[in-house]
Amino acid sequence: MTPEEFKEHLAKQGIHLTDDQMAQFATYLAMLVEWNEKINLTAITEPHEVYLKHFYDSLTLAFSNDFHEQPHTLCDVGSGAGFPSIPLKIVFPKLRVAIVDSLNKRINFLTLLIDALGLTDVSVYHSRAEDFGQQPDFREQFDFVTARAVARLNVLTELCLPLVKKDGLFLAMKAAKSEEELYEAKKAIHLLGGKLIGETDVTLPISGDQRFIISIQKAAGTPKKYPRKPGLPNKKPLV
């Protein structure tokens, strides 16, 4: 996907990018490639692939969720190189973003990236998600919490749902559809105060790759014991 195709395909979804926003994405790409030579940020560095599989893919969240209206808050758990939160912030500048990642090298990259892109109202936190979700300043404070990660849904639910405010949404981005994964996450979703709203299928242009966005609404408060201590959600998932 070329930058021009990126702009054209987003326009078909009602997302119209300015020249300044296109310049921000070009800067993002350049910094991603430069820093990836120093630290492992992503296996995808070819420009056409970055525009499709990182930038466009991140923005698929906006196809079925409205980030326009009020200055919503969004927390990106395990953001890595800033996906999906930084592309969303570029396109929706009123969005207030918190990024959580456990690796300090990635936090350093994100801090410099945010400054280079001229973004405001973006905070980065060097923390394990389990610890972050127990902090009163962040617990049940966000309109949207998202994770674009390889962990199974029952694990992601424990890491993310405690951060979602009442009636807010946890949006899990998945590369593959799995009825088994949804089934095994039922207990965790219910236990942590969530309600499964639905699953949105997205087809990436050009490649035809499938993506799946699972939407879980916060229906009730999360019991204080969750998330459990670092490592436990992965070692002993809620099933």
96 labeled binding residue? no
Contact 124, 101 (CB under 8 A): yes
How far apart (Å, rounded) are the C-alpha atoms in residues 117 and 204? 26
231 labeled binding residue? no
C-alpha to C-alpha distances, 191 to 104, 170, 187, 225, 233, nearest whole angstrom? 32, 15, 6, 11, 14
First to last CA, the chain: 40
83 labeled binding residue? yes
148 labeled binding residue? yes
**Residue 141, token pair as written in the block:** 């404070």
43 SS3 class: coil
208 labeled binding residue? no
Which DSSP symbol is given to 154? Answer: H
**Residue 236, token pair as written in the block:** 């002993």
How far apart (Å, rounded) are the C-alpha atoms in residues 130 and 111? 22
Residue numbering of the annotated binding site for S-adenosyl-L-methionine: 78, 83, 129-130, 148
- Residue list, annotated binding site: 78, 83, 129-130, 148
